[in-house]
Structures are given as C-alpha cells and as structure tokens.
Amino acid sequence: TEIYTLSLHDALPICVQSIPTPEAAPETVQDLIVTAKNLLLYSWYYYPFGVTAALQSMIAIEGALKIRMAAKPRDNLGYLLDKAIKQGLITDAGFPRWKAYRETFQDIYKLPRTEGNLTQILLDTLPDFRNTIAHGNRFLDDMGFHHLDIACETIAQLFPIANTAGPTIPGD
C-alpha cells in the first residue's frame, strides 16, 4: 500500500485557493487581491514575495476603504479604517476565519494574550504594519497567508454580497 503525503509545496495552492476573493468588491480591488494571491503562491520559490503579498493585501484594504467611504485624497488608511469601524461597516463578527488564528496574529505584533476586540487590533496594527513594509523596511515573516485572509475578510465586510433572492411573500 502506497502512502501519499501532501507536501507544503502541494498544499500552498490549496491554502491560497481557500481564501475567498470578495465577490462584491469592485474589480480594481479584486485585482489587487488576485495579485496578492499569486505573489503568495510564488513565495514558495522566492520567500520575500510573501511580504510583498502582505503589502499588496494592505493596499487592497486601503483601496476598498477609499472606494466604500468615498474618501478624500488626504484620507489615510488609519483614518478610513477607524471611520469604517465606527460606522459598523467592519465588525468583529465579520472575521470568522481570523478568530481561528487570533493568537498567532497577537504573537506577531506582541499584543497581550486576550480575547480582545479584533477591529481594535486591526486599527492598532494595520496602518503601522503597512507603513513598515511600504517604506523600505526589510521585514520578513511567514504570515502572508494570514494577512491576505484578513484583507479578504475586511473587504468582504465593506462590500457584502447583496441578497438576490428578492423579498419573501407571506403564504408562498
């Protein structure tokens, strides 16, 4: 009997494919996510692409926020994220996958081990993380998958899929 084991090389495409691209997001935002997914796949061959995928994910969040919040040119990521959270567009309930690996995320950013408010963690870390990478820091981590997943969950909340079933008719 032959035993087949799945290597990380074989599993990576499955993991990346398991992250849903937010269907209702504008095409420009979806393109940013697809680029991040491809960078993450190719990080198997060139490790720094994982960091570039994480940055691309953060750029996708900012792009989605700018569109959804009808941002002014001076509105930055932190401001838009805070505004979207305060308006209830982004909530803890919208991060079902993130809840599964919250402890890992807290380890990366050296946050205290608490249940915590996921949107507050996002607000406290995302703008600084994006700036750290975007401004030439050679930061490397192996969390590109998680950054991409969090980006997709955030964007899906900003652009939820509309209910296309139509109204229900009593007695039907």
Give the number of other Cβ atoms within 10 Å of residue 155's Cβ: 27
Mention every residue, 6+ apart, whose C-beta is less than 8 A from residue 39.
49, 50, 52, 53, 56, 144
Asked if residues 41 and 144 have their Cβ atoms less than 8 Å apart, the reply is no
pTM: 0.79
Torsion-angle region of 169 (φ positive above 0: left; ψ -120 to 50: alpha; else: beta): beta
- pLDDT band with cut points at 50, 70 and 90 for residue 11: low
* 149 closest CA partner among 69, 53, 84: 53
* pLDDT of 122 above 80: yes
The most confident of the ranges 53-67, 98-112, 119-133 is 53-67
Q: Which residue type, as a one-letter code, is found at position 95?
A: F
- Give per-residue pLDDT as tens, 25-46: 999 999 999 999 999 988 888 8
Query: Helix, strand, or coil here: 37?
Result: helix
**Does position 60 have pLDDT exceeding 90, yes or no?**
yes
